[in-house]
Amino acid sequence: MSNLWGGRFREATDASAYKFNQSISFDRRMYREDIEGSIAHATMLGKQGIISEEESCLITDGLKKIREDIESGVLIISDEAEDIHSFIESVLTERIGDAGKKLHTGRSRNDQVALDMKLYTKEQVKETDTLLLMLQKELLSIMEANIETYMPGFTHLQKAQPVTLSHHIGAYFEMFIRDRERLADIIKRMDTCPLGSGALAGTTYDLDREMTASLLDFKGGPTRNSMDSVSDRDYLIEFLSALSLIMMHLSRFCEEIIIWNSNEYGFVEIDDRYSTGSSIMPQKKNPDIAELVRGKTGRVYGSLMSLLTTMKGIPLAYDKDMQEDKEMAFDAMDTVKDCIREFTGMISTAVFQKDTMALSAKRGFTNATDAADYLVKKGVPFRDAHSIVGRLVLKCVGKGIALDDLSLDDFRTESGVFEDDIYEAISMKTCVEKRLTKGAPGRKQMAEAIEFYREYTGG
């Protein structure tokens, strides 16, 4: 298949060097974007009189037919092409003749590649955002059903204070809100069109860059500097950074699911459809999906670091190093979307063991702070109250019981301030419900949060 260059060369490219230089194996996925950009460019060329209207129509119709044939399977993208741009232009020229050779007028592969990658990335940002919204809707369903599902909250992976499953899940909902805000911000900043920048210095043709930007739905219009236009990959680094944060949040969530799924915790039962077994141990039911999401986080981090490293020493404007942006970026985009999908399926089918969670909160002395607060409200200095309850916890540890299981005499041996109302004061329900500050797990606060989340998800 012919190249888009070669006139000044006496010899053909070495076969292995040609293969090393090719990008068709991975940039073929951008055929839609390449065709879309070429249609806009040809339309503008015709309108500006740079090519005839007849040639413009012939080119655009030919490009639309190529897209249709690729999507129907009639046309197979050839591995012999150097890149997707060469393939599409070669097929177009074969089909419509010399008019196809005029498509590249006023355009370089540099601004063509920059355009294709921007268009592709914009679509990937939107698809990722849609998947995160679907995940948030599933999390909201879990939250709505578990406002009174009491469980231990943790610090240092030690049981700390009682919360609800709804409140705990809400923390992840907030993380994904921030993730989606970052995605929206990326779209705003990258929404300018590089087409018309040429190789690096624009062109002598009377291009209407505002027209092509509008046809391609770039809200920010054309880019302002042609050198920056063809060498900018900031938007891609930002997207990989945002994807890394999404994976970090998913990984933290998976870590907790893995821990909660263990026999020692027993907080959650992962559905069989999202678990695997052992080839040797018949009893095993492993949380492999959660583990894989956790593991793939490093893979996405690697893509980010690889692109940062690739870009750090590149002089203006375009250099072939930048071809290395695609494989790592495509892999990260695919990986994150797959992880969100599988995690959403896993969490939406999981069964949370409410009684086990509540018992764990009780036996973990998560109501100890509330017992100290009980004494403070009766006039005991907090430091004294802290010490009194600490001794009571130590007594419980020795007996293998919870604070709630102590007799009133046990309480009163440490402080005569204790009365029968201590049991109500340190019940899980009371401990959670009396937390009234905004953002706390109390019923009123959670009801307000859930209402906000419903509006946020359009539910």
Catalytic residues: 156, 278
Give the C-alpha distances (Å, rounded to integers) separating 423 from 153, 304, 358, 362, 411.
20, 53, 16, 12, 10
> Distance from CA of residue 93 to its chain's centroid?
40
Within 8 A by CB and 6+ apart from 190, the residues are 118, 121, 122, 234, 235, 238
CA distance 339 to 335: 6
For residue 317, whether the previous peptide bond is cis, meaning omega lies within 30 degrees of 0, is: yes
CA distance 448 to 451: 5
Helix axes 31-47, 53-72, angle to 10 degrees: 170
Nearest to 31 by CA among 80, 74, 86: 86
What phi, psi does 210 have (nearest 5°)? -65, -35
Nearest to 152 by CA among 454, 356, 347: 356
User: Taking the C-alpha atoms of 239, 244, 246 and 249 in order, what is their torsion angle to the nearest 10 degrees?
Assistant: -160
End-to-end CA distance of the chain: 53
Across the chain, which distance is largest between two alpha carbons, in Å?
101
406 close to 396: Cβ distance less than 8 angstroms: yes
The tokens 């739905």 sit on which residue? 217
DSSP string, 318-383: --GGGGGHHHHHHHHHHHHHHHHHHHHHHHHH-EE-HHHHHHHHHHTTTTHHHHHHHHHHTT--HH
CA distance 166 to 278: 33
Between vectors from CA 450 to CA 444 and to CA 454, what angle results, nearest 5°?
145
Nearest to 351 by CA among 288, 269, 264, 263: 269
Within 8 A by CB and 6+ apart from 363, the residues are 402
